[in-house]
Amino acid sequence: MPGKPAGTLYVVATPIGNLDDISARALRILADVALIAAEDTRHSARLLQHFGIATPLQACHEHNEREQGGRFIGRLQAGEDVALISDAGTPLISDPGYHLVRQARAAGIRVVPVPGACALIAALSAAGLPSDRFIFEGFLPARMAARRARLELLREEPRTLIFYEAPHRILECIEDLQVIFGAERQAVLGRELTKAFETLKGLPLGELCAWVAADSNQQRGECVLLVAGWEAPEGDAQVSTEALRVLDLLLAEMPLKRAAALAAEISGVRKNLLYQAALERQGDA
Ligand code: SAM
């Protein structure tokens, strides 16, 4: 006789502040599953209690996720549905869950996302910075030298950059952004999103730094930092070193015109600037 079909692992987003942001579907799934795998069971117990949900919770955090994953997989293979939640927002986004999701998929378990709040998307949606292309860098290194080294690598990134940061490091983080990206680069600080003291402040980095330094309230609560991507100055002499590196790699493999077009697509630098740079590099200009 065939066994019971395997259950489903639901990856459920929970609010990042305002409890009304949980979806009706999330509530239904949290109430219906056999078990909820939670980053912090005490924290999530309060959320479930608020919504009158009595589903049992089991810990699934960064310290036990790899080892305990098997327990959850066992329950799923036995035919039970399991929901994965983190303390706030979308699991796996700077939160635990990656190992469990990987293990579940490797075991042939169906994994279903139940989308909802996510601080980086909430911030981006209201920041007024280009949102067609962006990169999420999570948390920067805590130490200044390592943080500045990481930022150096991102200095000529053309897409909008998004960082999470702890409140006690927000000022030194903005100071380092200003040092590496320049005081004129536009930035937005999203703080306490969806909560009573929600702030979305957009200023050039130099001014944002002074504004946060002058008001200790801005150094409290949960923060997302968004920084406008690098814009190539006019003139081919200022094509970024990264764009030129890409161009050189492509020139070794394909005709000039195609290489310039592809390098433009990859780097975001204008095609005619790269075409001109390619001609100069091949000594034809
Ligand atoms: N999984 C979460 C998500 O989907 O956004 C992120 C979890 S991560 C451990 C926590 C960080 O997210 C905070 O340090 C802060 O940078 C950001 N964050 C979470 N809630 C926020 C809020 N309400 N306003 C601003 N940033 C928030």
Domain annotation covers residue 170 = yes
Q: Are residues 124 and 108 in the same domain?
A: no
- The confidence score (pLDDT) of residue 208 equals 98
Instruction: Evaluate whether 65 touches 100 at the Cβ level (below 8 Å).
Output: yes
Give residue-wise pLDDT tens across range 85-143.
Answer: 999 999 999 999 999 999 999 999 999 999 999 999 999 999 999 999 999 999 999 99
CATH of the domain at 128: 3.30.950.10
Length of the chain: 285
Residue 258: pLDDT above 70?
yes
Q: Are residues 193 and 255 in the same domain?
A: no
What is the whole-number distance in angstroms between the Cα of residue 67 and the centre of ligand 1? 26
Q: Are residues 88 and 164 in the same domain?
A: no
Residue 243: pLDDT above 70?
yes
Residue 84: pLDDT above 70?
yes
Q: Are residues 170 and 268 in the same domain?
A: no
3-state secondary structure of 267: helix
By most ligand atoms within 8 Å of CB, the mutation choice from 223, 225, 226 for ligand 1 is 223
- The confidence score (pLDDT) of residue 284 equals 58
By most ligand atoms within 8 Å of CB, the mutation choice from 61, 94, 197, 218 for ligand 1 is 94
Domain annotation covers residue 177 = yes
- The confidence score (pLDDT) of residue 2 equals 67
The tokens for 73 are: 């997989």
Residue 233: pLDDT above 90?
no
CATH of the domain at 52: 3.40.1010.10
What is the whole-number distance in angstroms between the Cα of residue 89 and the centre of ligand 1? 7
Q: What range does the domain containing 16 cover?
A: 8-117
- The confidence score (pLDDT) of residue 40 equals 95
What is the whole-number distance in angstroms between the Cα of residue 255 and the centre of ligand 1? 46
Average model confidence (pLDDT) across the chain:
94
Ligand 1, atom 16: closest residue by C-alpha = 164
Residue 282 pLDDT class (50, 70, 90 cuts)? confident
- The confidence score (pLDDT) of residue 234 equals 67
Half-sphere exposure of 145 (CA within 13 A, CB side): 0
- The confidence score (pLDDT) of residue 237 equals 59
What is the whole-number distance in angstroms between the Cα of residue 224 and the centre of ligand 1? 7
Give residue-wise pLDDT tens across range 8-33.
Answer: 999 999 999 999 999 999 999 999 99
Residues 6+ apart with CB under 8 A from 124: 131, 134, 160, 162, 226
Q: What is the pTM of this model?
A: 0.85
Which atom of ligand 1 is nearest the CA belonging to 117?
4
Residue 267: pLDDT above 90?
no
Residue 260 pLDDT class (50, 70, 90 cuts)? very high
